[in-house]
Amino acid sequence: MVSADRPLKSQPGMPKVWFNHATAKARLNMKTSKKLLIYLILFALVDTVIPVPITALILIYVLLEKPAWFETLVEQIYHPNRG
């Protein structure tokens, strides 16, 4: 198990780098956001060559997966004064 704060191995002449879960999580989120940006750019390039009906893809996803965010969205639209 990894301790909350511990020095990582570094190369000779380099300062020691301290590891903690907050920085690791921030790095993970940064990598995820970069991946998402790259995927969106690639999707945009493919979409310029072959138009992809994004609304139809979202509809298929909603019908098959029934995500919780969609139910919340519908509740907010049709019953804005509740909860």
The whole-angstrom separation of Cα 14 and Cα 75 is 55
Mean pLDDT for 65-81 is: 90
Is residue 17's pLDDT more than 80?
no
Domain boundaries, the chain: 1-50, 53-83
pLDDT of 27-53, one tens digit each? 556 677 788 888 889 988 888 888 888
Is residue 19's pLDDT more than 60?
no
The whole-angstrom separation of Cα 37 and Cα 16 is 32
pLDDT grade, residue 12 (50/70/90)?
low
The whole-angstrom separation of Cα 73 and Cα 81 is 13
The residue among 68, 77, 61 whose CA lies nearest residue 53 is 61
**Which residue did the predictor score with more confidence, 82 or 25?**
82
pTM attached to this predicted model: 0.40
